[in-house]
Amino acid sequence: MTERPEARLAAFARSRHGVFTRDVARRLGFTDRQIRYRIATGRWVALPGGGLMPAGCPVTFESRLAGAVLSVPTAAAAFESAGRMLVVRGAVGDEPVIVVRRGGNHRRPGVRIHESADLRDRDVQRVGGIDVTTRERTLCDLGRVLSDGDLHGAFDDQLHRGLVTLDGLYGFFYRYARRGRPGVARVRRLLAAYEPGFVVPESVLARRTLDLIRSSGLPVPDGQVPLTFWDDLLGRVAFAYLAERIVIEVDGRRFHGSEVFESDRERDNAAGLAGWRVLRFTWAMVTERPEYVLATIAEALAQARRRAA
């Protein structure tokens, strides 16, 4: 026997702190007329920030947050609300806070809404029946709203409890960080204090560099090119313009160990002697001075072409 709409709705609501929406009710078999009747007669009650509940169900922080998230497509609990759901130290506040993908009118009474141009499916998990930003994103978002002391305490607590790792935080942060984003500088300083010698993963920095070059309209270089510069010095370079004999290297190290630093300089010298020009850019240059990176590449290409003419 097919399950009745009331039973399907009750099962859904139980998994969402008693909350559902008109769209959910329609999807589970209720007509618009049935929905209007139940609201008009008080059997279903509308929550201020969005969503519906059966009459008599207790209204809690979780139910109000679930209603806000369910009522806005692509929404997830974020900032202090995500922190509360994930039990992050220092994340307090009774006002539901959600993040949505940019675009559209998402205003809801009693709900604080942040728009994001880079909210991705992998940045969201389900906690207690509510879509919530991941721990890594939540901690980085809290850099915008917590005091320095509370932010440090939140990071420490999550790390010491094994709920996040430094590698996971670094990996997310260098995808999340962009110039001018509120809180990024504070989180960057905090991460640097945990591990001053941290190396930005090569793949992350290389991808950011390639995206920058592509967006500028400059020619796209070849990537991960093996080149023999001098005798037995064989190196795999990040990028190269083969015709112009230009090498582009990206360096995510905050501090240079002497052995690695010496090796890189030796290879740069060998490349120069073999007739190649080496351009070396750091994470800070790529993310904070992109105009410098692009201008340097453009000038190197122009000089190479003038020499060849």
The rounded mean pLDDT for the chain is 85
Under 8 Å between Cβ of 144 and 82: no
pLDDT at 259: 45
DSSP E strand stretches across the chain: 44-46, 52-54, 76-77, 97-101, 112-116, 124-127, 130-133, 222-230, 233-241, 246-251, 277-282
Query: How many Å apart are CA 258 and CA 147, to the nearest integer?
Result: 37
Is it the case that residue 11 has pLDDT exceeding 80?
yes
pLDDT of residue 225: 74
Q: Quick one: pLDDT at residue 256?
A: 45
Nearest C-alpha neighbor of 22 from the set 49, 48, 56, 53? 53
| pLDDT tens digits, 160-210 | 888 998 878 888 888 888 777 889 889 988 888 876 555 555 667 788 898
Segment 66-82 shows an average pLDDT of 93
* C-alpha 189: how far from chain center: 18
C-alpha 71/C-alpha 67 separation (Å) is 6
155 residue type, one letter: F
SS3 4: coil
The per-residue pLDDT for 177 is 82
The confidence score (pLDDT) of residue 88 equals: 95
- Give pLDDT, residue 255: 44
Q: Rounded to whole angstroms, how far apart are CA atoms 85 and 20?
A: 19
The residue whose two tokens read 């800070």 is 284
- CB atoms < 10 A from the CB of 38, how many? 17
pLDDT exceeds 70 at position 105:
no
Residues 6+ apart with CB under 8 A from 164: 135, 136, 139, 158
Instruction: Choose the weakest-confidence range: 96-100, 133-137, 170-174.
Output: 170-174
Instruction: Give every CB contact of residue 133 below 8 A, 6+ residues apart in sequence.
Output: 76, 77, 78, 82, 99, 123, 124, 125, 141
Is residue 54's pLDDT more than 70?
A: yes
pLDDT band at 257 (very low <50, low <70, confident <90, very high): very low
Classify 138 in phi/psi space as left (phi over 0), alpha (psi -120 to 50) or beta: alpha
pLDDT per position as a tens digit, 267-277? 666 676 677 88
Mean pLDDT lowest among 116-120, 267-271, 292-296: 267-271
